[in-house]
Chains A and B, each alone.
Chain A
Amino acid sequence: MATAPATLPRPHSFAQRLRAGDSIAYTITFAASATIILITGLLAYYLWTGSALTRQRFGWNFIFTSTWDPVAGQFGALPFIYGTLVTSFLALLIAVPTGLGAAIFLAELAPRRLSDALTFMIELLAAVPSVIYGLLGIFLLVPLLQSKVVPALQAVFGFLPIFSGTFHGVSLFSAGLVLAIMIVPFIISVSREILLAVPNDQREAALALGATKWESTWKVVVPYAMRGILGSVFLALARALGETMAVTMVIGNTPRIQASLLSPGYSIAAVIANEFTEATNDFYLQALVELGLVLFALTVVLNGLARLLILTTGGGVKRR
């Protein structure tokens, strides 16, 4: 493409002006992407310096102890980390098969018109504010769990520690379910786009080799799109990790680590939002900022793991 300007016939040709446009576009888009680095850097810097006091005082104990006592100035984040991870993974456990299944149906199997209509609804769902999902959780999901689902669950699986104990409606389990409902639209919407982007040659080649429709979908199209699908899953996970409002409404807000999913818990984002406004002394405030730092680190670590996972497994199908 790029040729030396000296070979151009006239100095102010259209092509040259266009090239000047290129460099302007380059500068603008570069500046735009530089803001990403700037914002991430500022965030990390603020979280790090803003928690200097508590990092000094507690060191690693901050993330390995479980007493959260603002009155005594004793801060341990373990129950919040536990609650965040448990609810997020529970959400993924439910949302990934559902979301992927729906995406495959919409992209590969459903008639075009149905697919478009459903996709419109999914995008609508993705735009619903989280407080609405919280209300849905409190007024619909929790009563349903309390009256029907959990008694049935406990009748069958009650012997398992994760389904033991008294159920008060608000719990890790309810929070995981609400999160699952919230992130499913993300997974469907992004995965569907990615599946649709798989070149038709791939499908035709599989079918030509004698594969059934399902075989071509499951063994060729999905692996081809795996990288993108995993991307959508981790986008969803990021949302689940950071979700505040809907979680705090149904999780029970109790900083304790209990084996049962039916017991109340607490998440990092929820406790920050809950206690931030009334944190009057510096030390307390810094403990909350450090919780933010922990959540930030958690996201980075999980993202790193995700990339590792893609490198080791998702790379199975190489793209040209």
Chain B
Amino acid sequence: MTIKKPIWILAAALSLAACSSGPQQILINGGGATFPYPMYSKWFDEYHKLFPNVQINYQSQGSGFGVKQVTEGTVTFGASDQPMTDEQIAEFRQKRNTNILHFPTVLGADVPTYNVPGVSTDLNFTPEALAGIFLGKITKWNDKAITSANAGVKLPSSEIVVVHRSDGSGTSYIWTDYLSKVSDEWKTKVGKGTSVNWPVGLGGKGNEGVSGQIKQTPNSIGYVELIYAVQNKMTYGKVRNRSGAFVKADLMSVTAAAAGVEMPDDFRVSITDPTGPDAYPIASFTWLLIPEEIQDKQKMNVMRDFLKWMLGPGQGMTVELLYAPLPQPVVTKEQAAIAKIH
């Protein structure tokens, strides 16, 4: 005992010293959407390098997880690929006694990808053709709705095999949100959601499941995230936008889609089928969900500071990870909204 005591004291003194060196550690937990995860983890990492005492943990378990956890108050912030619905916001208000704020962070897009033997060029798709194919009304590749937009391409008379996501995902939400806007029949029959009752087709799990299925199935068509398609050098088609131009998805045309939309004060906006001659029509914001009132003022300050940083230097890091950055007017509007957090 007499020998042990000094060691105990020494150990306690050491650990105290370790704690008191530098400012107090601040740990913030968040979670939600998987689509922006690579971007977020890079941001949180870079931010941690700037402020070593701030550690932001992010669990990418899906938008549903993000909405649920932030509503239950188990995380400081959530993240989602789709804005919260009015009912969800009402539930949040009731449980947390404050409002929830949406902050767009980056943009994503869906692209139609296909495997048609003998066709190596980028195909053009009209909104009618995409809706028809996914409704199961257009069943052959040489249907007039497809050939008329692809003069000079010889399309086979084979049956179209539709492939969609089987797991609930923001990617499906964007796709069905778009189809709901361009086709009344889709809107009434199927609607939009992270999972829907698909009229036709096979389900693949994840972007990799869909692309794998398409690669193995001749005459198939499906949709994947733009980033996934670019990283894997997949061929994907152009889609006709509202101005009548066939636009190929890239970072420019996706940001252009966001620029063409009138941004409401709560940032809950869908940017599929936007106006603007260069806008790619199947794109979406992804959002951070932050409570208006954060009890722990230290965390509150970090969140405010992080948002400022994310809208500034953070946006400069998007392109290397293939995410489309926010258009300037949106950034300005968000910067003003940060003050709401208290």
Contacts and interface: CB of A to CB of B under 8 A. Distances in A.
Instruction: Give the residue among A71, A72, A142, A252 with the most B Cβ atoms within 10 A.
Output: A71
A143 B213 CA distance: 11
B197 A280 contact: no
Contacts of B161: 168
Contacts of B216: 138, 142-143, 146, 169
Contact of A254 (B63, B192, B196, B202): B202
Interface of B: 34, 61-65, 67-68, 85, 87-88, 159, 161, 166-170, 190-198, 201-205, 209, 212-213, 216-217
Contacts of B192: 71
B202 A252 contact: yes
A8 B159 CA distance: 88
Contacts of B202: 168, 170, 252-254, 264
Q: Which 7 A-B pairs have the closest CB atoms?
A: A253-B203, A278-B168, A277-B62, A253-B166, A69-B197, A278-B194, A71-B191
| Chain A interface category by residue count | 20 to 34
Interface of A: 67-72, 74, 138, 142-143, 146, 166, 168-170, 248-249, 252-255, 264, 266, 270, 273-281
A67 to B, nearest CB: 7
Nearest to B194: A278
A253 B195 contact: no
A275 B212 CA distance: 20
A273 to B, nearest CB: 8
B63 A280 contact: yes
A250 to B, nearest CB: 10
Contacts of B159: 166
Secondary structure of the B contact surface, majority rule = loop
Contact of A278 (B85, B87, B167): B167
A305 to B, nearest CB: 31
Nearest to B200: A254
Contacts of A275: 167-168, 194-195
Contact of B195 (A70, A146, A168, A273): A70
Instruction: Give the residue among A67, A276, A278 with the most B Cβ atoms within 10 A.
Output: A278
6 contacts: A138-B212, A254-B198, A264-B203, A274-B203, A276-B168, A281-B87
B115 to A, nearest CB: 12
Contacts of B212: 138
B203 A249 contact: no
A74 B196 CA distance: 11
A169 B219 CA distance: 13
B251 to A, nearest CB: 26
Contact of A170 (B34, B193, B213): B213
B166 A278 contact: no
Instruction: Give the residue among A67, A72, A169, A253 with the most B Cβ atoms within 10 A.
Output: A253
Contacts of A74: 197
A168 B159 CA distance: 12
A266 B166 CA distance: 10
Contacts of A253: 166, 202-205
Nearest to B66: A280
A277 B203 contact: no
Nearest to A248: B205
B167 A277 contact: yes
Nearest to B80: A280
A194 to B, nearest CB: 37
A264 B212 CA distance: 16
Contacts of A274: 166-168, 195, 203, 205
A195 B168 CA distance: 46
Contacts of A169: 213, 216-217
B196 A249 contact: no
Contacts of A170: 202, 213
Nearest to B190: A71
A278 B195 contact: yes
B63 A278 contact: yes
Nearest to B71: A280
B217 A168 contact: yes
Contacts of A68: 197
Contacts of A166: 159
Given A169-B216, A278-B62, 20 more contacts: A70-B193, A70-B194, A71-B192, A142-B216, A249-B205, A253-B204, A253-B205, A264-B203, A273-B167, A274-B167, A274-B195, A275-B168, A277-B62, A278-B63, A278-B168, A278-B170, A278-B195, A280-B88, A281-B85, A281-B88
A87 to B, nearest CB: 15
Contacts of A70: 168, 193-197
A102 to B, nearest CB: 31
B171 to A, nearest CB: 10
Nearest to B197: A69
A252 B203 CA distance: 5
A254 B194 CA distance: 15
A70 to B, nearest CB: 5
Nearest to A68: B197
A277 B168 contact: yes
Given A279-B64, A280-B88, A69 B196 contact: yes
Nearest to A253: B203
A253 B204 CA distance: 7
A94 B5 CA distance: 68
A67 B213 contact: no
Contact of B168 (A72, A264, A279): A279
A253 B162 CA distance: 12
A243 to B, nearest CB: 14
